[in-house]
Chains A and B, each alone.
Chain A
Amino acid sequence: MLKSKTFVKKTRSGGVMKVVREHYLRDDIWCGSEVCTECKQESTVLQKDACMESSLCSYPHYLVPDTNVVLHQIDILEDPVICNVIILQTVLQEVRHRSAPVYKRLKDIIHEKEKHFYTFTNEHHRDTFIEREPGESANDRNDRAIRVAVKWYTQHLKTFESDTDGLKVVLLTNDQGNKQKAQDNGLLVYKCEEYVKSLIANPELVDRLALSSDDKNEITSSKVLFPEHLPLSRIQTGIKSGSFLQGTFRASRDNYLEATVFVQGEGEDSTEVLIQGLQNLNRAVHQDVVAVQLLPRSEWVAPSSVVLQDEGTGKDDEDAEEEEGNLRTAAAEAARKPTGKVVGVIKRNWRPFCGMLNVSQIKESTRHLFTPADRRIPRIRIETRQASTLAGQRIMVAIDGWPKDSRYPNGHFVRSLGGAGEKDTEEEVLLLEHDVPHQAFSQAVLSFLPKVPWAITPEDMMKREDLRPLTVCSVDPPGCTDIDDALHCRELENGNLEVGVHIADVSHFIRPGNALDKEAASRGTTVYLCGKRIDMVPELLSSNLCSLRSNVDRLAFSCIWEINHKAEILKTRFTKSVINSKASLTYAEAQMRIDDTNKNDDITKSLRGLNKLAKILKRQRIEKGALTLSSLEVRFHMDSETHDPIDLQTKELMETNSMVEEFMLLANISVAQKIYDEFPECALLRKHPAPPPSNYDILIKAAKSKEVEVHTDSAKALADSLDAAKVDGFPYFNTLLRILATRCMMQAVYFCSGMDSDFHHYGLASPIYTHFTSPIRRYADIIVHRLLAVAIGADTTYPDLMDKHKQSALCNNLNYRHKMSQYAQRASVAFHTQLFFKSRGILNEEGFILFVRKNAIIVLIPKFGLEGTVFFDSKDKVSPNIVFEEEGPTLSVEQHKFHIFDKVKVTISLDDSNIQHQKIRMALIEPVIPGVSVPAPDTETPAKKQKLDR
């Protein structure tokens, strides 16, 4: 093994320093090609007959992309068509420094076996290493290094020409200079674009090409529309001196010419700067980090209440100016807000956007505008030849850049999601828009799964308690395949009861730090959509090895209490165990067993014992001030074949639901206490802060209108007054009040005990709480499992587990994922509701007023758990006489006065005039207000149909 030495010198900023590093060159780095007989490699990556049919290169060939091609055309490289690619170490390192997301994607591709991507460590190869020459820039050196490596490959492969049909290496670069030099060296070189266009079998790949800078000129007119962005150095000095402010750009949903920049101040001291007009917005896109300059006070404006949607087709700059003029209508002095203009973009936060294509009027045109689903994102100009096929589909588009002479940003087509309005497509859209990671698990992740057939080994048994003889059973909603908890209860000899909660031992399978663990940590939670589940861990674990199914041996983490008949806990212990569940029941089945007095088997007895204790536990909890809140959850009955919703019903709660819940709460609290005692600095806990008193205003006012008093001084007072709140002849009032109370609450969050001092869980009235019971679907539980395992000496720690800052960062991600998954879930319910009403036509339903707004009432329809808004002013009609009163609050429309909780009758229909944003529309039927309410439409037919369905 030859080791030779050269020196690489580096200077670092902040006092120039000479860094000398060794650089060994080796002769044992192999080429990775199947044809090679010279290299002593163990396994080869690159195939012998590398077939990508291209009209430019009719021979088999390997591709070598340069750094910029990888950075900008990663979408192309990800395409399954492109395979047999050599990624040079030079390129990999440059990509790593320039873009972390692209680097990750590239690494994922390299890991995929079918793609045949080979990493060639050219920087350490004896023949391909080059030193930087005097006067040569770092980039030029890297380009040269790439060329040298390509040359080496070309010559290396030539030696085996006899047994290959002229296998060659093709360099892909977009740099004109580099291309020229490569040609002079006699290398095969193409521009990425040329090459992709030459691919015979896949013409649609062309659309995924990102526009490179020299293409932009032809697209745009010569007219400069926007002021130049300042260079970063000037922005930084400006921010330091205070003349510019740095903040996150938030585009307005309703008005494309308006945005705010949220400037994070110190502590609570944050300000918002208003930005109005295309010129001032200066090509910033929603979520970018921008630098803004405040305008002089005389030019400050008030936010306009006008709804403006960009209808332009690219030629209407004059119209835009006119619209801008309209914005600056008379604004009261007081309403004016700090106004500024964007002078530069510090960090772009572009991601691929979902949306639809507006096909250009000109038939042959290949340039089209793309309208994103998110209204805050501007339209994007893309180039595609398949406009006719893409019209009516949901597609994804990535932005490549926004030159100053272009009205819209330029982008490229990434992929099609499917036809708009179709269920799968819309689901995909809502997952993407809520940033829910849902792609299939990568090979790297799957490689950490246990081998099937899997069995419990004797070593596992050694460390675990054998609880298989116990009568354990699980109770879950129907159709549940990821069963993460099971219970048992038995009488002990001393007359006390032993209750055990057994949780799937996911942390046994997911070891800290590996790819599987990292993926799960990044996903954070399993997302449940209507009829679909996006798993946090691969299915083998979630539905099989970890799922505590009946009559199979499973690994579990058990929490076992000794409890007396007054439900007082005498002893608590935790242990890793092996269990064998005797039955997987649904809530309804379990309920039936408990109620059926003829049944007296072990499972039923165990259930009865649990149920009895749960009732006492619940009473105790409520006495302590735990809240029982209400929110309407709906369940769709799906058609088993089409997966369309047939019927919709609000979820029913049974005793067994609360039985399981009670023991889960108990386990969570016990575990929280244990891990906090053991690790006061780094326990992962969950808290629910008490809401500020002002949150309750709406609840108190609403209750007052029905002459009910609600006390909100403490959780206990609130719980008591909610229990007492009843109005004669209005049985639904209590539920409504609880729904309102739910809306007043704060979000519960995960946090690291070392970083916070307030641990209280308001809703559960518990001083400490965590999540332990669902490790299959929540990552927080996995961490808690690991902590607990260390605490009882069943497992070992690792550095990240004990680092409170890392834990805190993890908590932030988990909280974010949790929130997004809830939004996604709600969006999914909303979408299915729309599908449901689409098939139902128009319906008349009774509902209650939940909120009263300035120009509308929000109506809740208990039957569907559906909320909708009834507007009293519309654009095309003369608006009726509306008076809004803050006290109350009430809204008078003509003669009628609306209060909260009033019963109304509305028609429900689906408004699909805008295919990207379908929504449920409600209109008032009763009370009848002339000119406002609509006559009850004939709903005879759909009603009949509904009956037939049942």
Chain B
Amino acid sequence: MAGLELLSDQGYRLDGRKATELRKLQARMGVFTQADGSAYLEQGNTKALAVVYGPHEMRGSRSRTLHDRAVINCQYSMATFSTAERKRRPHGDRKSTEMSLHLKQTFEAAVMTQLYPRSQIDIYVKILQSDGGNYSVCVNAATLAVIDAGIPMRDYVCACTVGFVDETPLADLCYAEENGGVSSLALALLPRGGQIALLQMDARLHQDHLETLIEAAMTACKGVSKVLDEVVRQHLQEASVLTGE
């Protein structure tokens, strides 16, 4: 069988999107009341749940305490039912550990940790259904959860993956595209200042194309940020209506 045609001559991708179009993004904030902040986010078929506890006192090993800012603790996991084949180990494998680390780095760059010295912020993210772009969906969900928890951030952190096919950057890759031999790049952006919180790529890509690819990723991230902003405003409105009564 011939491999998948990721981008047709007419400019449509496998699922009917054009190169720069994002998947449908839906989100809800404050899905749990027990936690300090929570959010549920769907980006196409990738669905993630993010929960935030804190800032609170250091728990566990106190030796990790930082005296000038808060420690961010991230844990990434995938539900056993999130992939086509049942996953044996929901967390703790190499991939999850790496992902946890990436999330931690991303949020250390975005959260104003210096406001909470000697304390800890826990961010738990679970992928409920995986269809590509897990990292970016986690970042987007966690952003909403952090906002829901009322922890000050410099800006939204918005993430998006982009791939490079036929000299064209494709925004927001789905699983089939990620696995179709595309060099993909994940980028987390603080959209207002245009600062990059994290950039990760482990595929081969020619240096000449890197700039266009980053450009495309930033545009896509800004698209994501618009949607997130709407979600936050919508949520606030609902909340204020409720409390206003």
Contacts and interface: CB of A to CB of B under 8 A. Distances in A.
Chain B: interface secondary structure?
A: loop
B238 to A, nearest CB: 24
Interface in B29-50: 44-45
A410 B111 CA distance: 75
Contacts of A119: 8-10
Nearest to B85: A17
Chain A: interface secondary structure?
A: mixed
A149 to B, nearest CB: 14
Contacts of B1: 97
A21 interface: yes
A455 to B, nearest CB: 25
Contact of A17 (B9, B14, B84): B84
Interface in B111-134: 131
Interface string A17-28: 111111111100
Contacts of B208: 796
Nearest to B204: A799
A121 B84 contact: no
A616 B130 CA distance: 71
Interface size class for chain B?
20 to 34
Contact of B45 (A20, A89, A93): A20
Contacts of A26: 16
Given A121-B8, A796-B207, A3 B24 contact: yes
A18 B2 contact: no
A17 B16 CA distance: 23
B88 interface: no
Interface in A742-778: none
A110 B8 CA distance: 13
A797 B9 contact: no
B206 A97 contact: no
A498 interface: no
A100 B2 contact: yes
Contacts of A110: 9
Contact of A24 (B17, B131, B167, B207): B17
A20 B131 contact: yes
Contact of B84 (A19, A100, A124): A19
A89 B1 CA distance: 18
Contacts of B85: 15, 17
Contacts of B174: 21-22
Contact of B15 (A17, A23, A103): A23
A798 B206 contact: yes
A464 interface: no
Given A5-B24, A110-B9, A799-B204, A21 B2 contact: no
Contacts of B206: 796-799
Contacts of B167: 513
B86 to A, nearest CB: 11
B176 interface: yes
B23 interface: yes
Nearest to A22: B15
Interface string A770-798: 00000000000000000000000000111
Contacts of B207: 796
Interface string B143-182: 0000000000000000000000001000000101000000
Contacts of B2: 96-97, 100, 103
Given A796-B208, A799-B204, A22 B5 contact: no
A97 B2 CA distance: 6
Interface centre among B16, B23, B131, B176 (most CB of A within 10 A): B16
A19 B12 CA distance: 20
Interface in A1-19: 3, 5, 15, 17-19
B223 to A, nearest CB: 13
Contacts of B84: 17-20
Contacts of A23: 15-16
A123 B12 CA distance: 11
Contact of A124 (B5, B16, B24, B131): B16
A375 interface: no
A101 to B, nearest CB: 12
Contacts of A796: 206-208
A119 B10 CA distance: 8
Contacts of A797: 206
Interface string A86-123: 00010001001100100100010010000000010101
Contact of A21 (B10, B12, B24, B176): B176
A799 B164 CA distance: 13
Interface centre among A17, A20, A24 (most CB of B within 10 A): A24
Contact of A121 (B12, B23, B24, B131): B12
B105 to A, nearest CB: 29
17 contacts: A5-B24, A19-B84, A21-B45, A22-B44, A22-B131, A22-B174, A24-B15, A24-B24, A26-B16, A96-B5, A119-B8, A121-B12, A121-B16, A124-B16, A513-B167, A796-B207, A799-B206
Interface of B: 1-2, 5, 8-10, 12, 14-17, 23-24, 44-45, 84-85, 131, 167, 174, 176, 204, 206-208
Please provide the 10 A-B residue pairs with the shortest distance between their CB atoms, ordered closest to farther: A124-B16, A24-B16, A22-B15, A17-B84, A22-B44, A121-B10, A24-B15, A3-B24, A121-B12, A119-B10
Interface of A: 3, 5, 15, 17-26, 89, 93, 96-97, 100, 103, 107, 110, 119, 121, 123-124, 513, 796-799
Given A17-B85, A89-B8, A103-B2, 5 more contacts: A20-B45, A97-B1, A119-B8, A119-B10, A121-B12
